[in-house]
């Protein structure tokens, strides 16, 4: 089936089109620049920007795929989690389109989309189940046991405080780098020494591994970096921002992969799938490849442009649901800003 996916959970208006497991178009409009001066996403601005960007982005996606509306078999939309106002714009648009065209509508989970984008990653072998999935995004850091992407996702653990992406954004601010911080930390870290400063690896001491084996904590790391930098500034001491960025990035990558590979070993699942915006990070990708190879674990990472928010991942889930015989969502569903990762499709009839 040819499915058009609509993503508006945060500051990216994403429209993707897939045919089965083949990616045909991935059009994105971002309101990121409008939020930069506030140092973070402003929900009201994001919602307005989606309203303005939706129609033109749908047209770009159809043009990119060289298709017209009559070629689209179904629509998929992100119904959560995310910013309420932003989600509502996409959900309302999707329902309007479904009502006007009579096409079936699938309301799907944004977080599952971040890992499910693997389904339409070009040139990849079919995904084998079960797989451990590590989701690292702006608002979430979760370890999942995926027995099936459209019907069985189990949450093994998640962050008990900040998401890894939030830590990247906060550390960037401390270093005077613009929002969103992730790509800037990556840029500044080049040439820095990752062993220069030993920043804390949250919940990875033996006693924490006993009680919180699959959980994460990044708030202590974020504070440690801020204190370290402030102490140098107070003393008027020079320091290398490259070393700070490289050491911080190393601490995040280390703890993420220690826990993900512990899950692979404990549950005897030699497969690891990464997803989410933070997985665009160069060091996380590199360390994942090294550690997975050493552990005999098969690693799958989406290409950079499919890590951050996009409509292709939503279309991918929609197409997969159809191919697996799932019924469309009834149109009474709403936007759910705190939808849990285990709710893969929202269907009010169930």
Question: For the window 127-146, what string marks contact with ligand ATP as x by the rule CB under 6 A?
Answer: ----------xxxx------
Residue 166 interacting with Fe ion (CB under 5 A): no
Strands ordered across the beta sheet of 74-80: 22-30, 12-19, 2-7, 74-80, 105-109, 345-346
Instruction: Tell me which of 137, 217, 247, 329 binds Fe ion, using CB under 5 A.
Output: 137
Kind plus residue range of the DSSP H or E element containing 99: helix 84-101
270's CB contacts (< 8 A; 6+ apart) are: 264, 295, 296, 297, 298
**Range 240-259, binding ligand ATP (CB under 6 A):** none
CB 124 within 8 A of CB 300: yes
Identify the residue among 309, 319, 335, 346 touching Fe ion (CB under 5 A).
309
Among 11, 118, 243, 250, binds Mg ion (CB under 5 A): 11
168 lies in the binding site for ligand ATP (CB under 6 A): yes
CB of 78 to ligand ATP, least distance (A): 9
Site for ligand ATP (CB under 6 A): which residue of 13, 308, 329, 345? Answer: 308
Q: CB of residue 14 vs Fe ion: minimum separation in angstroms?
A: 10
- At 135, give phi and psi (nearest 5°): -105, 115
Measured CA distances, 234 to 166, 223, 227, 246 (Å): 25, 16, 10, 22
The answer for residues whose C-beta is within 8 angstroms of residue 153's C-beta and 6 or more apart is: 112, 133, 144, 145, 146, 147, 341, 342, 344
Q: Which of 16, 104, 192, 276 binds ligand ATP (CB under 6 A)?
A: 276
Write out the H or E segment, with its range, that includes residue 246: helix 241-266
Residue 165 binds to ligand ATP (criterion: CB under 6 A): yes
Binding residues with Fe ion: total (CB under 5 A): 2
Given a contact cutoff of 8 angstroms between Cβ atoms, the answer to whether 74 and 313 are in contact is no
Show the 3-state SS of 257-285: HHHHHHHHHHCCCCEEEEECHHHHCHHHH
Q: Does 215 bind ligand ATP (CB under 6 A)?
A: no
User: If contact means CB under 5 to 8 A according to the sort of partner, which of Fe ion, Mg ion, ligand ATP, none does residue 280 touch?
Assistant: ligand ATP
Helix (H, G, I), strand (E, B) or coil at 8: coil
Q: Establish if 12 lies at the interface with Fe ion (CB under 5 A).
A: no
Query: Are 296 and 270 in contact, with CB atoms under 8 Å apart?
Result: yes
Confirm whether residue 35 is marked as ligand binding: no
Per the CB < 8 A criterion, the answer to whether 116 and 129 are in contact is no
**Binder of ligand ATP out of 183, 192, 311, 318 (CB under 6 A):** 183
Give the integer Cα–Cα distance in Å for 273 and 11: 25
Name the segment binding ligand ATP (CB under 6 A); options: 263-271, 275-283, 291-299, 325-333: 275-283
Q: Report, in Å, the least distance between residue 294 CB and ligand ATP.
A: 23
Question: Is position 194 an interface residue for ligand ATP (rule: CB under 6 A)?
Answer: no
From the CB of 210, what's the least distance to ligand ATP, in Å? 28
Is 50 known as a binding-site position?
Answer: no
Residue with smaller CB distance to Fe ion, 112 or 288: 112
Q: What's the rounded Cα separation, in Å, for the pair 253 and 269? A: 20
Binding residues (CB under 5 A) for Mg ion: these are 10-12, 309
Binding residues (CB under 6 A) for ligand ATP: these are 9-10, 82, 110, 114, 137-140, 165, 168-169, 180-183, 186, 276-278, 280-281, 308-309
């Amino acid at each position: 089936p040819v499915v058009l996916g609509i993503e508006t959970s945060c500051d990216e208006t994403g429209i993707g089109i897939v045919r089965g497991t083949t990616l045909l178009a991935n059009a994105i409009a971002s309101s990121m620049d409008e939020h930069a001066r506030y140092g973070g996403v402003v929900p009201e601005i994001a919602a307005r920007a989606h309203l303005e960007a939706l129609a033109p982005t749908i047209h770009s996606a159809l043009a990119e795929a060289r298709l017209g509306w009559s070629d689209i078999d179904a629509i998929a939309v992100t119904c959560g989690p995310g910013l309420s106002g932003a989600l509502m714009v996409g959900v309302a648009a999707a329902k309007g389109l479904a009502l006007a065209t009579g096409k079936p509508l699938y309301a799907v989970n944004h977080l599952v989309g971040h890992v499910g984008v693997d389904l339409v990653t070009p040139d990849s072998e079919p995904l084998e189940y079960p797989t451990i999935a590590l989701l690292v995004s702006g608002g979430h850091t979760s370890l999942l046991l995926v027995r099936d992407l459209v019907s069985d996702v189990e949450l093994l653990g998640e962050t008990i405080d900040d998401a890894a992406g939030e830590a990247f954004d906060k550390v960037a601010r401390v270093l005077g780098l613009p929002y969103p911080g992730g790509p800037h930390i990556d840029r500044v870290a080049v040439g820095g020494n990752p062993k220069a400063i030993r920043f804390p690896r949250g919940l990875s001491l033996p006693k924490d591994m006993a009680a919180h084996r699959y959980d994460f904590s990044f708030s202590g790391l974020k504070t440690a970096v801020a204190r370290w930098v402030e102490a140098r500034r107070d003393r008027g001491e020079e320091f290398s921002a490259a070393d700070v960025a490289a050491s911080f990035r190393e601490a995040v990558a280390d703890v993420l992969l220690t826990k993900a590979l512990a899950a692979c070993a404990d549950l005897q699942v030699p497969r690891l799938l990464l997803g989410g915006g933070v997985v665009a990070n160069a060091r996380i990708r590199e360390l994942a490849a090294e550690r997975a190879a050493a552990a005999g674990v098969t690693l799958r990472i989406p290409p950079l442009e499919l890590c951050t928010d996009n409509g292709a991942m939503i279309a991918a889930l929609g197409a997969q649901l159809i191919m697996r015989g799932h019924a469309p969502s009834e149109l009474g569903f709403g936007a759910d800003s705190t939808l849990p990762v285990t709710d893969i499709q929202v269907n009010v009839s169930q």
